[in-house]
Amino acid sequence: MKKRIAKVDRQRELKERLSKDPFLTDEELTQIFNVSIQTIRLDRLELGIPELRERVKNVAEKNYSKVRSLGGKEIIGELIDLELGKSGISILETNGNMAFEKTNIIRGHHIFAQAESIAMAVIDAEVALTGVANIKYKTPVKAGNKLVAKAEVVRKRGNKFFVHVFIFESQKEVFRGKFILVSMK
């Protein structure tokens, strides 16, 4: 177990950590600093840092306007980073509606939808469709967990875009997919 640190030091480090990764949950922060969730919330309040949902939304809004191939509301997950034609990151907060009744494990097609969305969002094309996808589910995801999808355009040949997508849950890779998207115009 980590030793607790002085409040002033904790708040300085908290600010620094959240500036590097604005999508750390309060729960993750309690583990990092070994304090209660109330302490974290109080820290955020004192530092003027909004809750996760707000932070995600703030970042996402700046990114939607960059996307060419999709309408902003068509992306499954919140788009939190985008360099058009290169790479992008989205976050999906999973819930029970996306899961199998029996096991509470998120159904494959929801994870696929997040991956396909971010793959499509990153390419610099007006209209595109998925041509081919080779995908692998590596670890089951429980409902309620937060998925971070990272997409990278690895090659462009003619009207074909080759995009790799990796999805993580708490730093652990749960899915990887290779997509070939075809630009229609």
172 makes contact with a second copy (CB under 8 A): no
132 makes contact with a second copy (CB under 8 A): yes
Record the tokens describing residue 22, joined without a space.
């604005």
Where in 95-114 is the site for a second copy (CB under 8 A)? 100-103, 105, 107-109, 112-113
62 makes contact with a second copy (CB under 8 A): no
Hey, what amino acid is at 79? L
Nearer to a second copy, 42 or 133 (CB): 133
Residue 80 has, within 13 A of its CA and on its CB side, a CA count of: 22
CB-CB contact of 17 with 24 (8 Å): yes
Residue 155 has, within 13 A of its CA and on its CB side, a CA count of: 7
Q: Which of 70, 75, 148, 163 binds a second copy (CB under 8 A)?
A: 70
78 makes contact with a second copy (CB under 8 A): no
Q: Which of 140, 160, 166, 168 binds a second copy (CB under 8 A)?
A: 140
Only segment of 27-35, 55-63, 69-77, 88-96 that touches a second copy (CB under 8 A):
69-77
- The answer for 170, left when phi > 0, alpha when psi is -120 to 50, beta otherwise, is left
Give the span between the Cα atoms of 142 and 94, in whole angstroms: 8
Q: Which of 135, 142, 166, 183 binds a second copy (CB under 8 A)?
A: 135
Collapsing DSSP to helix, strand or coil, 179 comes out as: strand
Nearer to a second copy, 22 or 140 (CB): 140
Nearer to a second copy, 42 or 113 (CB): 113
87 makes contact with a second copy (CB under 8 A): no
The answer to whether the Cα torsion of 50, 54, 55, 58 is positive or negative is: negative
Collapsing DSSP to helix, strand or coil, 148 comes out as: strand
Lookup result for tokens 């290779």: 178
Nearer to a second copy, 45 or 132 (CB): 132
Positions touching a second copy (CB under 8 A) are: 70-71, 74, 76, 100-103, 105, 107-109, 112-113, 116-117, 127, 129-137, 140, 184
